[in-house]
Chain A
Amino acid sequence: QSVLTQPPSVSAAPGQKVTISCSGSSSNIGDNFVSWYQQLPGTAPKLLIYDNNQRPSGIPDRFSGSKSGTSATLGITGLQTGDEADYYCGTWTSGLSSFVFGTGTKVTVL
C-alpha cells in the first residue's frame, strides 16, 4: 500500500494540458527529491523528471515537475496520443530507509 497518493486518472483533449498530483508527508516528499516515471502499456517505466524538476536528456520540455512542501506535481502540456500511459511519482523515505512510489495515474487523451 503506497504512502504517496495520486489521482487514479486524468484526461484531456490533444494539445491540452494535464497535471498530476502526488501527495506525501514530511517523512518522504517533504524531505527528499521527487522523480516521475512514464510507463507505456507493456513496457518498463521511463524516467521523466528527477530532483523535483529536472528533465533527463531527451525528455521534451512539455513535461515539467514541481514540488511544494509535502506534495509534487507533474505537468504535461501539448498533450499527444503517445502520452497515454501510467505515470508514477517516487521518492525516498526519511533516512533513505526505503523508496516509495505513488499509486499511479492513468492519462487518457480524449
Chain B
Amino acid sequence: QVQLVQSGAEVKKPGASVKVSCKASGYSFIGNYIHWVRQAPGQGLEWVGWINPKSGNTKYGKKFQDRVTMTRDTSINTVYMELNRLTSDDTGVYYCARAPTAAYDSWGQGSLVTVSS
C-alpha cells in the first residue's frame, strides 16, 4: 500500500533552517508528484509547493519561493523540503502528499516544526 513516512519533530531558533524528509513506498516513486502542505497551530491548510521526483523540477508558492528548496533522492525514494530563515510564523505541521491527479490521495503523518528562541 502507498505510504509516505516523514521525519520527526524539529525545534529551531529564529533565522535557522530546517530540512524535513518524506520517504515513499508502495508505488512507483518517480510516477507521481509530491507536494508539501503546511498547517499552523489551530489554522487551516496552506500549499507550499511541489516536486516532480522524476525530473527534480519544482514549483513553489509565492509566499515561500525565496526561502524553500525541494529536492529528491531517487535511490532511496525520498523527497526533502528545506525552509530557510525561519521565523515564529513558520511553526506548524508540515505534510507531504502524493498527487496522482488534481488531488492528494495519500499523506504523510506530518512533521512538527517549532521555531522558538
Complex contact B105–A33 (CB within 8 A): no
Q: Is the contact region of chain A dominated by helix, strand, or loop, or is it mixed?
A: strand
Contacting residue for A98 out of B62, B95, B101, CB 8 A: B62
Q: Does A47 contact B (CB under 8 A)?
A: yes
Complex contact A44–B95 (CB within 8 A): yes
* A contact residues around B62 at 8 Å (CB): 98
Which of B104, B106, B110 is the most central at the interface, judged by chain A CB atoms within 10 Å of its CB?
B104
Complex contact B103–A90 (CB within 8 A): yes
* A contact residues around B37 at 8 Å (CB): 45, 101
Tell me the bound Cα distance from A47 to B107 in angstroms: 9
What distance in Å separates the Cβ of B50 from its nearest Cβ neighbour in chain A?
Answer: 8
Complex contact B102–A101 (CB within 8 A): no
Q: Does B35 contact A (CB under 8 A)?
A: yes
Contacting residue for B35 out of A46, A50, A99, CB 8 A: A99
Complex contact A44–B110 (CB within 8 A): yes
* B contact residues around A46 at 8 Å (CB): 107
